[in-house]
């Protein structure tokens, strides 16, 4: 059945080894991020075989699923937890990224009941404006956290390049290193992990620009897509087609390039833009916004132009193609991270694993 995602485990292993070896050579541990693949067991296994130090996912459901499917590796919860999921966190998660005192106190209470110690990495906002205590306030909060029972503060971390697109430069990472030093000076407390990096911070490893003590990266996009969207680049030595999307042509017709009639908004309330190129040969693919983000489809046939999509239909222009496409033909696409996320999440997209030894 189409649409279908073809997941090439050998290529994923190669991508994972590529970045993990680079990080390990600089004493940086790696959490392999499985969230874009909805915690697919085969992906976690590929990352573990490639020597990742832990498996990270944003959704507790994915961590529980992987645990039940036999993945026996330390689990890191990437999204700061909801109070309502803390019981599950204590049961299934080894290390939790966290930023709220109220949540830490509740986590402590549950961990105490279960006679467990819960490891946490306290998140600090260095300017990207997503999760974390604002960096000027972090030191005081950490002073409180280190005294909370059954909570083991093993690291401080930050997330950049996600909400505000702020680049993880050496200077930004130095802010984490400085806070670690202040924690030692003020509280005589040693922090094991400085968890600064996602894919966007890989250039620091590649260019030998790590700030002092930065020793933990959380990597997803570079392994799954072989790209680094924040820096607008391809990760050196990585495959971009470790996961490929196949979609089927359901209509081919010559049509004008601009719509006819009075124009309102499209099915999603957007105002589409059209360039008048005269009559063009266009295809409809049986896939839509429910399964992909059309802007993130990268056709193998470079002469295809992806135009637009509604929920279930994606319109492409094949006028310039050398291949004479027919109804029922299957087209292949590489995917951006955001498109991959949608297609793994969509139950209408079949998933096929290849090259699994």
In this chain, which stretch among 143-151, 173-181, 217-225, 341-349 interacts with ligand PLP, using CB under 6 A?
A: 217-225
Distance, CA of 62 to CA of 78 (rounded, Å): 11
Distance, CA of 344 to CA of 319 (rounded, Å): 30
The 56-75 contact track toward ligand PLP, x by CB under 6 A, reads: --x-----------------
In this chain, which stretch among 10-18, 113-121, 198-206, 251-259 interacts with ligand PLP, using CB under 6 A?
A: 198-206
- Measured at the CA of 246, the angle between CA 71 and CA 199, to 5 degrees, comes to 50
CB of 81 to ligand PLP, least distance (A): 12
Instruction: Please say which residue, 56 or 247, places its beta carbon nearer to ligand PLP.
Output: 56
The rounded radius of gyration (Å) of the Cα atoms in the chain is 23
* Active-site entry in 4, 13, 22, 35: 35
The residues, ordered by sequence, that sit 6+ positions from 15 with a Cβ below 8 Å of its Cβ are 222, 223, 224, 226, 235, 238, 239, 242
Name the helix (H) or strand (E) containing 193. Answer: strand 193-197
In this chain, which stretch among 7-15, 193-201, 238-246, 300-308 interacts with ligand PLP, using CB under 6 A?
A: 193-201
Q: How many residues bind ligand PLP (CB under 6 A)?
A: 14
Instruction: Please say which residue, 146 or 162, places its beta carbon nearer to ligand PLP.
Output: 162
Question: What separation in angstroms does the CA of 20 have from each of 5, 24, 147, 223, 347?
Answer: 25, 6, 34, 9, 31
Residue of minimal Cβ distance to ligand PLP: 220
220 lines the binding site for ligand PLP (CB under 6 A): yes
CB 127 within 8 Å of CB 164: yes
Catalytic residue status for 326: no
Instruction: Please say which residue, 52 or 247, places its beta carbon nearer to ligand PLP.
Output: 52
- Residues 126 to 185: which contact ligand PLP by CB under 6 A? 159
Give CB contacts under 8 A, 24+ apart, made by 321-326.
Answer: 325/249, 325/252, 325/283, 326/249, 326/252
216 lines the binding site for ligand PLP (CB under 6 A): no
Is the backbone peptide bond immediately before 178 cis, with ω within 30 degrees of 0?
Answer: no
Distance, CA of 157 to CA of 91 (rounded, Å): 23
Instruction: Please say which residue, 180 or 218, places its beta carbon nearer to ligand PLP.
Output: 218
In this chain, which stretch among 141-149, 197-205, 252-260, 344-352 interacts with ligand PLP, using CB under 6 A?
A: 197-205
- Residues 16 to 55: which contact ligand PLP by CB under 6 A? 33, 35
Enzyme catalytic residues: 35
Please give the residue ranges that form the binding site for ligand PLP (CB under 6 A): 33, 35, 58, 78, 97, 159, 198-200, 218-222
């Amino acid at each position: 059945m189409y649409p279908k995602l073809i997941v090439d485990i050998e290529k994923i292993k190669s991508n994972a080894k590529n970045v993990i070896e680079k990080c390990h050579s600089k004493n940086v541990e790696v959490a392999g991020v499985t969230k874009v693949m909805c915690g697919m067991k085969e992906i976690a296994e590929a990352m573990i075989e490639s020597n990742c130090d832990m498996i990270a996912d944003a959704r507790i459901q994915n961590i529980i699923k992987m645990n039940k499917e036999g993945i026996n590796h330390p689990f890191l919860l990437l999204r700061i937890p909801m109070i309502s999921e803390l019981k599950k966190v204590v049961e299934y998660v080894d290390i939790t990224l966290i930023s709220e005192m109220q949540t830490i106190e509740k986590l402590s209470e549950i961990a105490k009941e279960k006679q467990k110690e819960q490891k946490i990495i306290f998140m600090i906002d260095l300017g990207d404006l997503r999760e974390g205590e604002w960096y000027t306030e972090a030191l005081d909060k950490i002073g409180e956290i280190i005294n909370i029972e059954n909570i083991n503060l093993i690291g401080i971390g930050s997330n950049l390049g996600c909400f505000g697109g702020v680049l993880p430069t050496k200077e930004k990472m130095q802010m984490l290193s400085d806070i670690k030093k202040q924690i030692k000076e003020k509280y005589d407390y040693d922090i094991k992990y400085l968890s600064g990096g996602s894919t966007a911070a890989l250039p620091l490893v590649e260019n030998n620009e790590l700030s002092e003590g930065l020793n933990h990266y959380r990597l997803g996009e570079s392994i799954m897509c072989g790209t680094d969207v924040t820096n607008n680049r391809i990760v050196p030595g990585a495959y971009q087609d470790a996961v490929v999307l196949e979609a089927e042509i359901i209509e081919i017709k010559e049509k004008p390039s601009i719509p006819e009639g009075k124009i309102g908004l499209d099915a999603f309330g957007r105002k589409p833009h059209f360039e008048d190129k005269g009559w063009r040969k266009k295809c409809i693919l049986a896939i839509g916004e429910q399964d992909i983000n059309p802007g993130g489809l990268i056709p193998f046939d470079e002469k295809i132009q992806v135009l637009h999509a509604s929920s279930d239909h994606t319109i492409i222009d094949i006028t310039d193609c050398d291949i004479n496409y027919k109804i029922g033909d299957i087209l292949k696409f590489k995917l951006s991270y955001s498109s991959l996320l949608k297609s793994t999440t969509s139950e209408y997209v079949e998933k096929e694993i290849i090259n699994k030894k």
